[in-house]
Amino acid sequence: MTDRSCLAIILAAGLGTRMKSAMPKVMHAIGGHPMLGHVLETATRAGSDRIAVVIGPDMSPVESLVAATASSAVCFVQHERKGTAHAVLAARPALEAPVDDVIVLYGDTPLITAEAVETVRRALARGADIAVLGFEAADPSGYGRLLVEGGRLVAIREEKDATDSEREVSFCNSGIMGFRGALLPELLDAIGSDNAKGEFYLTDAVEIATGRGLTVVAETGPVEDVLGVNNRVQLAECEEIFQARMRRSAMLSGVTLVAPETVFFSYDTKLGADVVVEPNVVFGPGVSVSSGAVIHAFSHLEGAFVDEGASIGPYARLRPGAEIGQGAKIGNFVEVKKASVEAGAKVNHLSYIGDARVGAKANIGAGTITCNYDGYNKFFTDIGAGAFIGSNTALVAPVSIGDGALVAAGSVIVKDVPDDALAVARGQQVVKEGRAVSIRAIKERMSAERKK
């Protein structure tokens, strides 16, 4: 399709009323990414040179998302919501530049694939003036019906306007339509609002085009690709399909998911070949895991990079900015935030490493914490290569532990420790021989007196 120019118009003005939310509907997330973000990325992958996004008034979060996601996208405001054709008209300035294909998409159909869009574009390339993407519905209730005669699409009938016989049709409208670019403006001008809802339906373009002897066709796509979201139940249903797709894709690319149905991905999760993911792992946005790494059970990763052969968890948490080096070990109940743990280093259990560097082959004992926050500012802790930090140590940042240094268990380190030095920073132990006997006697006497 590279020889044909394409404008994608994405309708995204919905308020989210049925979502019971103050947030615009298209900002609700699937796989950690707003629904509209998914559609923008699909439009780009399908070869759209330009993207026009139709939004409602006062939707600054949507505008910000569009600007951050697609450099070729421009927002247009639909000030009154009077139907899909009225929404497309809001983007009319985008139609002034010549274009071969115009594809109309919806910001609340997050599962639409580039392949589905390309199906519509191929129909236009074969000579269709309008191409509509349809699907076969087991239960067509609520959908507009695609009425086909002699292999040509002659009308799209909204259910409220359909006859009894038309309601028997199971070939349904996804809403996704493609137009020959030069044709669309005059079709929009010809669409009226003589229907049950008094709105301007983009689907009426089909009957208008047929009446003018133009070529209108219907293409068939998978029903999963075109599922729309109007409420939180449907949002969860789309999330389930998205997760199933991600799991399948990961396994086919060489990732082992021990219990696939318990692993949850974000839209941008990247896993290398021979990665093993144990049960009940959650990947938040921004995670990349290199080949041969193991993510053990009940771990949560977000905004993190895991290098080859590293081991994470079980019950580990990698927060944004965590960078785990080759062959490093992050063990159970360890949290890492904005810190690098270099190759071969070990943070095996019950520790917090934040705003820090842990040098190669360093060993961090259980219960160690980097005290990086004073209530106002964050400070950095640098732990050198081969350093050994004893259990229950508090490293009060800013502080530096040299290469090969040893820190005794239970220390509170507030000053830099040179290379290969031993640091001991704890209260002196005092032993009083036999004192336990007298203390027990006193306690027993006091207890007996209280019972009188």
Q: Hunting for tokens 């949850």 — which residue is that?
A: 264
Instruction: Answer yes or no: do 72 and 208 share one domain.
Output: yes
The answer to whether position 302 is within a domain reads yes
The answer to whether the annotation marks 158 as part of a ligand binding site is yes
**Percentage helix, strand, coil for the chain under 3-state DSSP, each rounded to 5:** 25, 30, 45
Mean of all residue pLDDT scores within the chain:
95
The answer to whether the annotation marks 291 as part of a ligand binding site is no
Instruction: Answer yes or no: do 276 and 408 share one domain.
Output: yes
Distance between CA 20 and CA 43 in Å, rounded? 28
How many percent of the chain have pLDDT more than 70? 100
Instruction: Answer yes or no: do 304 and 170 share one domain.
Output: no
Instruction: Answer yes or no: do 354 and 383 share one domain.
Output: yes
Instruction: Answer yes or no: do 207 and 248 share one domain.
Output: no
Distance between CA 288 and CA 270 in Å, rounded? 5
pLDDT tens-place string over residues 173-226: 999 999 999 999 999 999 998 777 788 989 899 999 999 999 999 999 999 999
The answer to whether the annotation marks 409 as part of a ligand binding site is yes
Between vectors from CA 5 to CA 55 and to CA 86, what angle results, nearest 5°? 30
| Residues 94, 103 contacting (CB under 8 angstroms) | no
What's the full length of the chain, in residues? 452
Q: 401 lies in which domain range?
A: 232-423
Instruction: Answer yes or no: do 156 and 285 share one domain.
Output: no
How many independent structural domains does the chain possess?
2
| Residues 76, 51 contacting (CB under 8 angstroms) | no
Q: What 8-state DSSP symbol labels residue 27?
A: G
The answer to whether position 128 is within a domain reads yes
Instruction: Answer yes or no: do 163 and 253 share one domain.
Output: no
The answer to whether position 438 is within a domain reads no
Q: Looking at the predicted structure, is the pLDDT value of residue 2 above 80?
A: no
| Candidates 28, 33, 300, 349; catalytic one | 349
Which candidate, 397, 428, 421, places its Cα nearest to that of 407? 421
Give the tokens for residue 361. 């082959």
CATH number at residue 254: 2.160.10.10
Q: Is 28 a catalytic residue?
A: no
Identity of the amino acid at 159: E
| Residues 418, 391 contacting (CB under 8 angstroms) | no
Instruction: Answer yes or no: do 54 and 180 share one domain.
Output: yes
Q: Looking at the predicted structure, is the pLDDT value of residue 301 above 90?
A: yes
pTM, two decimal places = 0.91
The answer to whether the annotation marks 280 as part of a ligand binding site is no
Instruction: Answer yes or no: do 221 and 297 share one domain.
Output: no
pLDDT tens-place string over residues 101-147: 999 999 999 999 999 999 999 999 999 999 999 999 999 988 999 99
Instruction: Answer yes or no: do 156 and 221 share one domain.
Output: yes
Q: Looking at 193, 226, 259, which one is the last position of a domain?
A: 226
Q: So what's the pLDDT on residue 1? A: 55
The answer to whether the annotation marks 13 as part of a ligand binding site is yes
Instruction: Answer yes or no: do 327 and 181 share one domain.
Output: no
CATH number at residue 57: 3.90.550.10
Q: Looking at 191, 226, 261, which one is the last position of a domain?
A: 226
Pairing of strands 270-271, 369-371: unpaired
Helix/strand number for the chain, H first, E second: 9, 35
Instruction: Answer yes or no: do 214 and 309 share one domain.
Output: no
